[in-house]
């Protein structure tokens, strides 16, 4: 399952995972996949991207942790970033309020570095093109 997911460069939905597993191993019962995903997320082997109902493989090792995820709105890549501030501040606040934390997700949306660079060079090209072909006043 993890290899199936790790083979993808984009986050995968549960349905995509079922489809890929079925292609590799024949029929896979969806409840099995959902149970396995719950287990993987619970053990921090994978993280759920709540806003998109997809999953990404955790790259941070095998210590249980909460993830902060950078979601690129242009190319769809999801990158996990270390964020122990979450545990120290957000979880501490919850514990202080006698609230039991089961899940905690931080999703930061925007263009990634590569997409920002593409947008910058695209804008520069457009400006140069417009300047070159501007009609004389």
Number of residues that bind Zn ion (CB under 5 A): 9
Stretch that binds Zn ion, among 11-19, 83-91, 106-114, 124-132 (CB under 5 A): 106-114
Contact criterion met (CB below 8 Å) for 6 and 61: no
Q: How far is the CB of 31 from Zn ion (least distance, A)?
A: 25
- Which range, of 30-38, 53-61, 90-98, 127-135, touches Zn ion by CB under 5 A? 53-61
Q: What is the largest CA-CA distance in the chain?
A: 70
Q: Candidates 14-22, 30-38, 71-79, 129-137 — which segment interacts with Zn ion by CB under 5 A?
A: 71-79
Q: DSSP assignment, residue 65?
A: -
Neighbours of 57 (CB within 10 A): 19
What is the closest distance, in whole angstroms, from the C-beta atom of residue 37 to Zn ion in the complex? 15
Binds Zn ion by CB under 5 A, chosen from 58, 68, 78, 83: 58
Helix 30-42 to helix 14-25 angle (10° resolution) is 120
Count of beta carbons in the 10 Å neighbourhood of residue 40: 19
């Amino acid at each position: 399952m993890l290899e199936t997911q790790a083979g993808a460069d984009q986050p995968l939905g549960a349905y995509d995972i079922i489809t890929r597993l079925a292609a590799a191993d024949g029929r896979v019962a969806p409840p099995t996949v959902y149970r396995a995903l719950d287990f993987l997320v619970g053990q921090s082997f994978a993280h759920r991207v709540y806003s998109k109902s997809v999953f990404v493989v955790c790259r941070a090792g095998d210590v249980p942790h909460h993830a902060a995820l950078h979601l690129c709105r242009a190319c769809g890549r999801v990158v996990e970033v270390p964020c122990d501030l979450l545990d120290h501040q957000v979880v501490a606040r919850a514990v202080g309020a006698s609230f039991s934390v089961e899940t905690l997700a931080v999703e930061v949306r925007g263009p990634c570095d590569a997409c920002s660079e593409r947008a910058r060079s695209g804008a520069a090209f457009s400006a140069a093109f417009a300047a070159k072909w501007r009609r004389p006043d």
